[in-house]
Structure formats: structure tokens, C-alpha cells
Amino acid sequence: MSIPILEVCGLRAAYGRIEVLRGVDLTVPKGAVVALLGPNGAGKSTLLKVVSGQMAPTDGHIHLAGVSIHDPDPEKLARLGLCTIPEGRSVFPNLTVEENLTLVSYAGVPAEAVLETAFAYFPKLLQRRKQLAGTMSGGEQQMLALSRALASDPALLLLDELSMGLAPLIVEELYDTVAQIAETGVSILCIEQFARTALRVSDYAAVMTGGRIVATGEPAEINETMSEVILGGAA
């Protein structure tokens, strides 16, 4: 079996005295899509913050691509192929689509190649090439955020609520693209309120409550056993 792209063991983290991650164990196999599900306040976003180096853990281990990460530092994590799309719109609103995509030079990838990939996944962005990102719809902004993430040629993408504030149909479209991205070999860990949509494109799911992973399995198993916890009101 190959080394998992991400392995988290006994991870703990706190906001002040309040412990929010209480011994998280989670594995993302290479090339897999893993949906991280669970009720509000379970600690899902906090887990992504710790794994992406935005928040320090108080205990536990993180291995990324087989490398032990003692002190998660965003730059080192990026060099190992980690890319995060945080909750909310992570584009530069006052720059055009093209500027958003070409502002940073990604590991020597020519700007034209970055644009070509983005427009191949999202032809709508080609039509909007010269438009200010902040004037586009929420769905188009998330397309741009995904395209910017792809420009860094990630090994592991962390997606926090891609669907935030979007209509169900747009969410379905975005996740169709997430599935296409995964087919190219990119591993993906996604938090999603639209649990059924996320499960549709996932290889595995993990359910988190109270700062711990309480179930993991293939989508069908999770669907059957954990439906009350995770599918409650969400589509």
C-alpha cells in the first residue's frame, strides 16, 4: 500500500482553554476524495486550520506525503503540495479573473498554461477573463478559487465549504469539477454541508462530532449508518 497523502494521529487543538480537537485520527489515501462531515461546531474547520498550518496543535502528529510535520508552517506545507481553499470567497475581488490567475508565479508554470487549465475546467471563466472577480457570481468566484488552487499543481486540496451561500445546482456543478480534478490524481479532503453531494464524489467519508472522528467508511456505509448525524437538514 502506498503512503497516505495525509495522516493525522491523536491531533489536539484548543482556542484558549477550550479544547476543540480532542484526539483526531484521520487518513487521506493518495488520490482519494475524503468528505469530512459532521454537525456545526464539531471541529471540522479547526482541523483544516491545523492541517494547513494556520493554527498550532497542542498535541498529535501530522504526516504529509510521508513527511512528519512537527511545526506546521504554511510555506513548507505548500512545498509539499498542500493547497487550501478556506471558507468564503478566496479571490482578490478588485483584480480581474486573469490577474487572479497569473498574479503569483506558480513553481515555474507559465501563465498561459495556468490560464489554459483554468479555462478548460471552467469555460465560463474564459468569457469573464477581463472581469473583476468581485463582480462575478458566488459560483464563478468559487470556480476561480478552484482554478487558482490548481495553478499550484497541488498534491492535496483542502476544501472548506465550497458550497457556502450557493444554489444547489451550482454546488452540483462545482462538485462535478471536483470529481474531474480528483481523476487527475489530486487528493482531496472536503468539508461540506451538502453531505449527499460530497458523498456522491467521495471515495471515503469521515464523520466528526465533539472534536473526534466517530466513523469512517465508504460513502454508502456512512450514508446508512450515520444519516441522522450528518444528513439532518442538508441536501
Ligand X SMILES: Nc1ncnc2c1ncn2[C@@H]1O[C@H](COP(=O)(O)OP(=O)(O)OP(=O)(O)O)[C@@H](O)[C@H]1O
Q: Which residues bind ligand X (CB under 6 A)?
A: 15, 20, 38, 40-46
Q: How many CA atoms lie within 13 A of 56 on its CB side?
A: 4
Strand partners, 187: 156
Residues in CB range of 53: below 8 A, 6 or more apart? 72, 73, 74, 76, 77
- Which of residues 58 and 105 has its CB atom nearest to ligand X in the complex? 58
Closest distance of CB 111 from ligand X, Å? 35
- Which of residues 43 and 219 has its CB atom nearest to ligand X in the complex? 43
CA-CA distance, 206 to 216, in Å (whole number)? 4
Closest distance of CB 211 from ligand X, Å? 7
Task: List the one residue out of 208, 176, 191 whose CA is nearest residue 86.
Answer: 191
Residues constituting the chain? 235
- Which of residues 21 and 115 has its CB atom nearest to ligand X in the complex? 21
Closest distance of CB 20 from ligand X, Å? 4
- Which of residues 126 and 231 has its CB atom nearest to ligand X in the complex? 231
- Which of residues 11 and 150 has its CB atom nearest to ligand X in the complex? 11
The angle that helices 138-151 and 111-121 make with each other, rounded to 10 degrees, is 140
Closest distance of CB 73 from ligand X, Å? 20
Closest distance of CB 198 from ligand X, Å? 13
Residues in CB range of 20: below 8 A, 6 or more apart? 13, 14, 43, 46, 211
